[in-house]
Chain A
Amino acid sequence: MVKELKAEVKKLNFYYGRVQALKEINLPIERRKVSALIGPSGCGKTTFLRCFNRMHDLYPHNRYEGEIILHPDNVNIISPQMDPIEVRMQISMVFQKPNPFPKSIYENVAYGLRVRGVSKREVLDEKVEKSLRGAVLWDEVKDRLNHLAFDLSGGQQQRLCIARALATNPRILLFDEPTSALDPTATLKIEELIVELKNEVTIIIVTHNMQQAARVSDYTAFMYLGEIVEYDKTDRIFTAPSNKLTEEYITGRFG
C-alpha cells in the first residue's frame, strides 16, 4: 500500500536563540490519519508541533532550518517566503487549555471566517452549524448560540475551540495536549471526536498520556532530547517497539 502523505518533514532543525531544540527531524505525516508525538517533558514535542503553524514566529531569535513540505501543493511552510498568517489559516491548533474568545458561541466559530472577509449571514450560519456539528457540540448549544462561550463547561469549551479550528477547513489540525485540563468523560468525548475527525482532516497530536496516544493515533513518533528516536505504526510502538529507549519510556522505566 502506498501511503498518501499530507506533509513531509525534512531535516528540520529549530533553535531558540542559540539553543537547538530540534535536531535533524525527518517525519512523514500521512493524510487523514492521526499521528501522535510522545516523549518525556522537554523532549521537543510541543516545539515540533508549533513549527507546523509557525507559532515560533511570534517571538524574535527563533530560527528554523530544513523543510516542512505541505502536499499536494509542495510548498515549504517554514520558508521565510511563506506568510505565517496564511499557514495558520490552513493549519489550525487546539491548545492544552480551552481558550475561547470573550465572544458568543456563534462568533467564536465565525471569527476565522469573518477575518477572511466572509460576511454573508447564510454562509456564516451554515459554516457555524457544520463546524459545531463536526465538533459534536451542536445539539448542546444550538438553542443558545448567542450566549457567551465562557458559560460552557471545560469540555464544551474545548469542543468549541475544535469547531472554531474546523470552520476554516484546515488541511492539518494540531492538538497540543487537548485533554489535560479535562475530566475523563470530557476526555473520552474529545478522543472519540479526534478519531471521527480524521475522516476529514489530517491530525497531529502531542500528548503525554501514552494511553491516549495508543487509543487515538495511527502512527506514533517517540521523541527524546529534540530527536525522533522511533516512528512506527502505533500498534507496533505499543506492542513491540524496536528501540530500547522507546521500550523503556513506553513501559514507564524512564521519562
Chain B
Amino acid sequence: MSTVFERELEDLKGKVLKLGSMVEKAISDSIKSLVERNSKLAADVIDKDPQVNTLEVEIDEECIRLIALRQPRAGDLRLITTAMKITTDLERIGDFAVNISERALELNEEPQLKPYIDIPRMAEIAQGMVRDALDAFVKRDSALARDVLTRDDMVDNLNYQVFNELLFFMIQDPRNVSRAVKLTYISKYLERIADHATNIAEMVVYLVEGKIIRHMAVPEKQ
C-alpha cells in the first residue's frame, strides 16, 4: 500500500513526463515542418504552446503545495525540487520549438536555400537528449543522465559547422542572406535546446546522487 504522499509524487512525475512528451513532439514537428515544408505542422506547434505553459504552471503549483504541506525530505525533497527545475527547462525548450516553427513558416514561403542535412541531425540528437534525460529522471538512472551530458558537444560542433556553411552561402550571394540568417537562428535554437536538456540531465544526477555537478568542466563518468 502506497501512502497518499507517494501517490502524489507518482502523479507529479507523470505530469513532468507528460510535459516532456509534449515538448519532444513540438521539437520534432517544428523540424518536420521545415524539412517537409509543411506550414500546417508549424502552425500547430505554435497553437499548442499555451498547453505547455499551462501544464508548466500546474506542475509548479503542485510542487509548491507539496513543499508546504508535506515538508519533503531527502529523496522526496530532491524529487520535488528537480521536478520544479526540469519543468522550467522543458517550458523553455517548448518556446524554442515555437521559434523554430516561426522561422519555418517564413522559410516555407521562399524557395529552399539548400538541402537540410545537418539541421535535422542536430534536431535528432537534441530531441534524443531531452528524451533520455526524462527517461533518466523517471528511472532515477544517473548513468543515462551522464551519457546525455556527453552529447552536448556534438550539437555544439554541428551548430558551428552549420554556421560556417551558411556564412559561405551569404558571402556567395546577398540574396541568400535572409534565408541563411533564419537557418542559423534555427541551428542556434537547437543548440540551446541541447543546453536545456543538459540542465535536465544535471538535475537528474542531483536527484539520484545528491551531488550538484553543474558548471563542472568535464562531466564525471561513472
Contacts and interface: CB of A to CB of B under 8 A. Distances in A.
Interface of A is mostly: helix
Interface of A: 210-211, 214, 237-242, 246-247, 250-252
B78 A240 contact: yes
Interface residues of B, number: 13
A241 B74 contact: yes
Interface in B195-222: 209-211
B166 to A, nearest CB: 45
Nearest to A240: B210
Interface in B163-222: 209-211
Contacts of B77: 238-239
B75 A251 contact: yes
B73 interface: yes
25 contacts: A210-B73, A211-B71, A214-B73, A238-B73, A238-B74, A238-B77, A239-B74, A239-B77, A239-B78, A239-B210, A240-B74, A240-B78, A240-B209, A240-B210, A241-B74, A246-B74, A247-B74, A247-B75, A250-B73, A250-B74, A251-B74, A251-B75, A251-B76, A252-B3, A252-B5
A183 B41 CA distance: 61
Nearest to B76: A251
Interface in B40-89: 71-78
A211 B5 CA distance: 17
Nearest to B77: A239
Contacts of A239: 73-74, 77-78, 210
A239 B67 CA distance: 13
Contacts of B71: 211
Query: Which interface residue of A237, A241, A242, A252 has the most chain B CB atoms within 10 A?
Result: A252
Nearest to A247: B74
A174 B155 CA distance: 58
A17 B77 CA distance: 42
Given A239-B74, A240-B78, 4 more contacts: A211-B71, A240-B210, A241-B74, A251-B74
Contacts of B75: 247, 251
Contacts of A252: 3, 5, 73
A236 B101 CA distance: 44
Interface in B1-19: 3, 5
A215 to B, nearest CB: 11
A251 B210 contact: no
